[in-house]
Amino acid sequence: MTSSPLQKSPLYTRHVQVGAKMTEFHGWIMPLQYDSIMDECKATRKSVGLFDISHMGKAEVIGKNALKLLQSLAVNDLSKISEGQAQYTALVNDKGGIIDDLVVYRISNFRFFLCLNAANVETDISWIAEFALQYPDVEVRNVTRHHGLLAVQGPNAEAIMKSLVSHKVAHMEFFDFMITRIGEMNVILSRTGYTGEDGFEIYCDWRDTDVLWDAIMAKGKQWGIKPCGLGARDLLRLEMGYLLHGVDMDASSSPYETGLGWIVKLEKEGGLMAQEVLASKKAAGSAKCIMGFEMVERGGLPRHGFSILADGRIIGEVTSGGASPNLGKTIGLGRVLADYARPGTAIQIDIRGKAAEATVVRRPFIPARTKKSKPKQATSESGASAKEE
């Protein structure tokens, strides 16, 4: 049986031409790094980084009952956002497990645009489409390969976007978006991101992605822009303590045990399909939860699946880990018994047979610098999106 060929970003040829190191990621071949991952991480925190994230899933839900459908399936309350606002939320199954976390853009009362994790596109769209059968007027479309997607992240991101769009960009708050033009290109410009820095994500026509990339790179030169790969993106999200679906959580994880209970609105308008099971999980509390940790000892990186120990026994496992370029420390996320998740708790990580000392710490590891959001706009506890990719 032959495997399906890897999908390519609209910028694939450009990435290869400039010498990017490419990697496979959930059926796509994408740039892992252009320069050193450390330098790309530091550039994003200090100036600005440009990321090709066209592999992210995109879908449209259109119709008179589109809101009603999404309200029943996604845990956050979409009735609380207006046209021109986006919301971080999650799809859950009938057992309260997270099918995927996603961002929903309210284009109009009858049209919603969804940004999905690349690994879950088919699952997400099939799940939504199954329930859409109850609403003959609702259409669910997979538009992943209709749109390129670039992320401009870092302290200088606003300056670049003001020069490309207009000074109106300065008035956009976190999770605001606008449908506008950059040159001759129609784009969705969203003040969102996965790095904890101020920044923007820009959706364009698939065929315009290379032109948009060039325009951003040209304008960004004076602000020290640097192309960045998925390696830097993963470390930047780890520094913020942001979760990645399929790594830090999956369809067996409830929002409450992953620290995402804040996005669950059990009493929202229109109801929620998994309301009863989620209410039960909330009332029962979680035996395990996600926490952040710093390594005390040098020597080896904590990797996904490594055991976490305390009091002479296994209390959980590492979900993500890496060396933080901006902190100069080795950090990670883990799922542990709730009693061991308090900051300051001493733990050990089993790194290839050696119990390496670590300490539970508060997240985020680095303070978020996203644009302040409106009080009614739902964001994460740290003030930033937990969205992947």
Render pLDDT for 56-90 as a digit per residue (tens, 0 to 9).
999 999 999 999 999 999 999 999 999 999 999 99
Render pLDDT for 133-170 as a digit per residue (tens, 0 to 9).
999 999 999 999 999 999 999 999 999 999 999 989 99
**Tell me, what's the pLDDT at 2?**
52
Q: Which residues, 6+ apart, have CB-to-CB distance to 9 below 8 Å?
A: 15, 28, 29, 30, 52, 54, 55, 148, 209
Q: Which residues, 6+ apart, have CB-to-CB distance to 177 below 8 Å?
A: 84, 85, 86, 105, 188, 189, 190, 191, 192
The CATH number given to 288-361 is: 2.40.30.110
125/140 Cα distance (integer angstroms): 7
251/92 Cα distance (integer angstroms): 8
Q: Which pTM value belongs to this model?
A: 0.94
Taking 80 as the threshold, does the pLDDT of residue 332 lie above it?
A: yes
Average pLDDT, stretch 275-292? Answer: 97
**Tell me, what's the pLDDT at 386?**
44
Q: Are strands 28-33 and 7-8 parallel, antiparallel or unpaired?
A: parallel
Cis, peptide link before residue 5, omega less than 30° from 0: no
Render pLDDT for 284-293 as a digit per residue (tens, 0 to 9).
999 999 999 9
Question: C-alpha angle with apex 386: 383 to 387, nearest 5 degrees?
Answer: 135
Cα-to-chain-centroid distance, residue 273? 24
- Going from N- to C-terminal start, the domains of the chain cover 7-56+146-239, 58-142, 288-361
**Tell me, what's the pLDDT at 271?**
87
The CATH number given to 58-142 is: 3.30.70.1400
**Tell me, what's the pLDDT at 270?**
84
β-sheet with 185-190: strand ranges across: 177-182, 185-190, 199-205, 147-153, 48-52, 225-228
| % of the chain surpassing 90 pLDDT | 92
Q: Does domain 7-56+146-239 have CATH number 3.40.50.300?
A: no
**Tell me, what's the pLDDT at 356?**
96
Taking 90 as the threshold, does the pLDDT of residue 297 lie above it?
A: no
Q: Which of 275-279, 294-298, 305-309 has the lowest mean pLDDT?
A: 294-298
**Tell me, what's the pLDDT at 380?**
37
**Tell me, what's the pLDDT at 14?**
95
Average pLDDT, stretch 180-196? Answer: 98
Tell me if 194 sits within 8 A of 201, measured CB to CB.
Answer: no
Taking 60 as the threshold, does the pLDDT of residue 376 lie above it?
A: no
**Tell me, what's the pLDDT at 152?**
99
Q: Which of 247-261, 268-282, 371-385 has the lowest mean pLDDT?
A: 371-385
Mean pLDDT of the chain: 94
Render pLDDT for 203-224 as a digit per residue (tens, 0 to 9).
999 999 999 999 999 999 999 9
